[in-house]
């Protein structure tokens, strides 16, 4: 039970703006004693905001008269002490205020409802009709490696101080079945289970599998719920409440679900733990994967991190023994991983003009597969028709007037669209600079690939899946169903289609233009590319009963590159070892710890001046502050973005440095009026 703060003064976590410098909970007067974790509404300035009564002692002798708590949500059970600890930790670690983080991770509708309205919602929850009775599920016999993994998870559950488990399983090795068995054990022990997935579009598939397995065991309404940002505000609140009340036993969700209130949680699963989507990219830039590990550690419960290509951070933890590694090296049913063919672009006869992504040998291969009635997947990580439109007369290019980026040509709706600021115009019929009518697209995106495939393979049923083709609700589900039902011969798409989907019919996967990431200035680019390609290849040959071997085709100008050589052998272990060696000698994560200070202003000079001044405000010989540099896309929507890297060999040292440094920046910002925003990103993923 949460302890009661005495009537009189209560500390309340509330979302005060950054410039106010109010980072901790604020004191309010209260006539009644309020348990910590209680939701309240409190005045702040002229507004009234949602707040949470925070654990810890309020200031003893208020020097000023305190404003009173405006309303108490007394129908709602207070948030648990463990939930407050999680938010306290995350706020400290990612350098945000507790109130900001708490209010950002609670369901948005809580901010709008009065205590009476919330009480009504809670009553409605009680009246949910029971679900139809479900038949007992059919559980497959575990493969030996799966059985061993399940046994180790059980051993960790029993240990009282479990180590995080890294489930390293090749694509199609049946990781989900391991999650299901581990979940079953936790549910049977009366505990709640939290399962995180990287993408919203993977939740329906996962929800279906978990529901199929547990519907009979968990017949109560709302016993299995999902939490992600595509839910309506009312659904999200309902599911959150179900979790908070302990009615939901199984909670599936995206990164925000790591903050679900779960009074009995006994197991956390993080599927595809390497996925960059676990890192929030604005506001409090938290890593849900890392917080899941912290939460599990705090509660002494097991956390299972699953991946075919673990993040190098997690891999290093397994190497050093901090995590226990569980390996699933074989595909279920003995299916082979696809043969990887590195197609050497240099071997093509030299052609004039623009090179083609759809090489003749690739087309021939697709055609052969088509004739055999097999499904293929062609992967290109760039949406739209062409990345830029170009005038051959005056060299005009379709740049964005507001960003340092090209506007992408979208042929279907004849627009030029900036993928950074959204600025959209109809495609001009002539060059806006010189009037030449002959303006042409350069390069290709998925839309063009789709068009070329349709032309080159008449009669083939080609389907494109990317962010453009799935804008409307239900579209993605319908498209995936068509793929599963075999109504599609060739699937074209971005990384959206490479993740997680259990496509049973695909035998051939082609990556037509993956080289770009090899030479990126971001030290994590190779890690991401390797994971992406392994993942894409993993979509092929998942049905071991098919006769022809599955194949992955990689078109490259750099066949001999170590990354591709490791890929061809499906050798993640070797790839990880090489990368970790490089990281160690360059003193990069996980062998050092980073933070980025970002600043935005109308001019690059103003942003830079702020960062340069900031760098002088704190010194520690254990912390290295690099000179400011422009962001990879320096200008977006007429705002210039600069960033400054902060590096330390010890995490605690970096944390202490940031804790002292950041409050001084609030004052500094007042002197630098031209700076629009500044923010810190701890453990940044993209440099």
Footprint on this chain of Zn ion (rule: CB under 5 A): 391, 393-394, 396, 400, 402-403, 418, 420-421, 423, 431, 433-434, 436
Q: Of these partners, Zn ion, ligand ADP, none, which one is at the site of residue 562 (CB under 5 to 8 Å by kind)?
A: none
Q: Report the partner that residue 142 touches, choosing among Zn ion, ligand ADP, none (CB closer than 5 to 8 A by kind).
A: ligand ADP
Q: Which long-range contacts (CB under 8 A, 24 or more apart) does 399-405 make?
A: 402/635, 402/636, 402/637, 402/638, 403/633, 403/635, 403/636, 403/637, 404/633, 404/634, 404/635, 404/636, 405/633, 405/636
Q: Which of Zn ion, ligand ADP, none sits in contact with 171, Cβ below 5 to 8 A by type?
A: ligand ADP
Nearer to ligand ADP, 153 or 403 (CB): 153
Q: Is 287 in the site for ligand ADP (CB under 6 A)?
A: no
Q: Does 176 bind ligand ADP (CB under 6 A)?
A: yes
Among 313, 425, 502, 522, the residue binding ligand ADP under the rule CB under 6 A is 502
Q: How far is the CB of 147 from ligand ADP (least distance, A)?
A: 9
| C-alpha closest to that of 357 among 463, 494, 508, 510 | 510
User: Closest approach of Cβ 333 to ligand ADP, in Å?
Assistant: 7
Candidates 54-62, 175-183, 247-255, 591-599: pick the segment binding ligand ADP (CB under 6 A).
Answer: 175-183
If one counts every other C-beta atom within 10 angstroms of the C-beta of residue 618, the result is 16
Cα gap 499→203, rounded to integer Å: 12
Q: For Zn ion, give the closer residue by CB, 131 or 420.
A: 420
CB of 126 or CB of 141, closer to ligand ADP:
141
> Quick one: which of 51, 172, 443, 590 contacts ligand ADP (CB under 6 A)?
172
Q: How far is the CB of 476 from ligand ADP (least distance, A)?
A: 18
Residue by residue, DSSP assigns 30-55 as ESS-EETT-EEEEEETTEEEEEEEPS
**Total binding residues toward ligand ADP, as defined by CB under 6 A:** 15
Contact segment (CB under 6 A) with ligand ADP among 57-65, 166-174, 231-239, 258-266 equals 166-174
What DSSP character marks residue 514?
-
Compare residues 404 and 565 and give the one whose CB is closer to Zn ion.
Answer: 404
Pairing relationship of beta strands 415-417 and 424-426 according to DSSP bridges: antiparallel
Q: Which of 11, 175, 419, 672 binds ligand ADP (CB under 6 A)?
A: 175
Q: Which of 344, 316, 133, 110 is nearest to 221 (CA)?
A: 133
Contact indicator for 157, 185 with CB cutoff of 8 Å:
yes
Residue 410 beta carbon to Zn ion: minimum distance, rounded to whole angstroms: 14
Residue 658 contacts which entry, ligand ADP, Zn ion, none (Cβ below 5-8 A, type-dependent): none
Secondary structure of 229-287 as H, E, C letters: CCCCHHHHHHHHHHHHCCCCCEEEECHHHHHCCCCCEEEEEECCCCCHHHECCCCCCCE
146 binds, among ligand ADP, Zn ion, none (CB under 5 to 8 A by kind): ligand ADP
Quote helix, strand, coil % in the chain, to nearest 5. Answer: 35, 25, 40
What whole-number distance in Å separates Cα of residue 291 and Cα of residue 307? 17
CB of 340 to ligand ADP, least distance (A): 17
Concatenating the DSSP letter of every residue in 110-145 gives GGT--HHHHHHHHHHHHTPPPPPP-PPPPPPPPPHH
The least distance separating ligand ADP from the CB of residue 153, rounded to whole angstroms, comes to: 15
**Among the residue ranges 28-36, 51-59, 171-179, 420-428, the one whose residues contact ligand ADP (CB under 6 A):** 171-179
Query: Exposed/middle/buried for 103, CB within 10 Å: 0-12, 13-18, 19+?
Result: buried
177 binds ligand ADP (CB under 6 A): yes
Rule CB under 6 A: say whether 375 interacts with ligand ADP.
Answer: no
Write out the binding residues for ligand ADP, residues 107-146 only, by CB under 6 A: 140-143, 146
Footprint on this chain of ligand ADP (rule: CB under 6 A): 140-143, 146, 169, 171-177, 332, 502
């Amino acid at each position: 039970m949460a302890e009661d703060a005495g009537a009189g003064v209560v500390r309340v976590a509330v979302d005060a703006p950054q410039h106010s410098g109010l980072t901790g909970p604020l004191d309010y007067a209260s006539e009644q004693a309020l348990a910590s974790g209680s939701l309240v509404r409190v005045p702040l300035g002229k507004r009234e905001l949602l707040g949470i009564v925070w654990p810890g002692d309020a200031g003893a002798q208020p020097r000023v008269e305190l404003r009173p708590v405006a309303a108490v949500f007394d129908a709602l059970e207070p948030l648990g002490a463990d939930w407050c600890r999680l938010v306290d930790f995350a706020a400290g670690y990612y350098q945000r205020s507790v109130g900001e983080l708490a209010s950002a991770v609670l369901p948005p509708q809580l901010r709008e409802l009065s205590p009476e309205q919330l009480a009504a919602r809670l009553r409605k929850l009680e009246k949910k009709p029971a679900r139809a009775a479900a038949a007992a599920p059919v559980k497959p016999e575990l493969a030996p490696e799966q059985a061993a993994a399940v046994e180790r998870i059980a051993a960790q559950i029993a240990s009282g101080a479990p180590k995080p488990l890294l489930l390293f399983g090749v694509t199609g090795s049946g990781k989900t079945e391991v999650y299901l068995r581990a979940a079953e054990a936790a549910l049977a022990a009366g505990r709640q289970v939290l399962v995180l997935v990287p993408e919203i579009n993977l939740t329906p598939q996962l929800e279906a599998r978990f529901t199929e397995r547990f519907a009979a065991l968990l017949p109560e309404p709302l016993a299995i719920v999902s939490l992600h940002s595509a839910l309506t505000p009312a659904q999200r609140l309902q599911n959150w409440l179900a979790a908070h009340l302990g009615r939901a036993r199984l909670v599936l969700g995206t990164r925000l679900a790591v903050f679900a209130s779960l009074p009995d949680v006994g197991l956390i699963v993080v599927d595809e733990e390497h996925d960059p989507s676990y890192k929030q990219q604005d506001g409090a830039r938290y890593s849900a994967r890392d917080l899941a590990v912290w939460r599990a550690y705090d509660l002494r419960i097991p956390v299972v991190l699953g991946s075919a290509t673990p993040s190098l951070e997690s891999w290093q933890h397994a190497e050093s023994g901090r995590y226990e590694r569980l390996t699933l090296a074989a595909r279920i049913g003995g299916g082979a991983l696809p043969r990887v063919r590195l197609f050497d672009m240099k071997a093509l006869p030299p052609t004039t003009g623009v090179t083609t992504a759809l090489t003749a040998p690739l087309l021939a291969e697709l055609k052969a597969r088509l004739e055999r009635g097999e499904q293929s997947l062609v992967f290109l990580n760039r949406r739209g028709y062409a990345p830029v439109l170009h005038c051959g007369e005056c060299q005009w290019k379709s740049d964005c007037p507001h960003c340092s980026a090209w506007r992408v040509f979208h042929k279907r709706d004849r627009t030029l669209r900036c993928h950074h600021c959204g600025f959209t115009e109809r495609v001009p019929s002539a060059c806006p600079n010189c009037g030449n009518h002959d303006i042409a697209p350069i390069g290709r995106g998925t839309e063009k690939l789709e068009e070329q495939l349709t032309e080159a393979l008449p009669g083939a049923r080609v389907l494109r899946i990317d962010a453009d083709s799935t804008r409307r609700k239900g579209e993605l589900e319908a498209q995936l169903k068509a793929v599963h039902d075999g109504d599609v011969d060739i699937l074209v798409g971005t990384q959206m289609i490479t993740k997680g989907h259990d496509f049973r019919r695909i035998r051939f996967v082609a990556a037509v233009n993956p080289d770009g990431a090899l030479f990126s200035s971001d030290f994590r680019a190779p890690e991401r590319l390797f994971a992406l390609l392994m993942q894409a290849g993993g979509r092929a040959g998942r049905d071991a009963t098919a006769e022809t071997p599955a194949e992955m085709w990689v078109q490259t100008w750099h066949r001999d590159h170590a990354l591709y050589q490791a890929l061809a052998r499906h050798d993640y272990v070797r790839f990880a070892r090489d990368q970790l060696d490089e990281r160690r000698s360059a003193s990069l994560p996980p062998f050092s710890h980073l933070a980025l200070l970002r600043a935005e202003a109308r001019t690059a000079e103003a942003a830079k001046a702020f960062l340069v001044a900031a760098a002088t405000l704190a010194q520690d010989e254990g912390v290295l502050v690099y000179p400011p540099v422009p962001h990879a896309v320096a200008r977006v929507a007429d705002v210039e973005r600069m960033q400054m890297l902060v590096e330390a060999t010890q995490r605690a040292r970096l944390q202490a440095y940031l804790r002292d440094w950041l409050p001084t920046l609030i004052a500094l910002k007042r002197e630098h009026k031209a700076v629009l925003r500044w923010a810190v990103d701890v453990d940044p993923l993209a440099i």
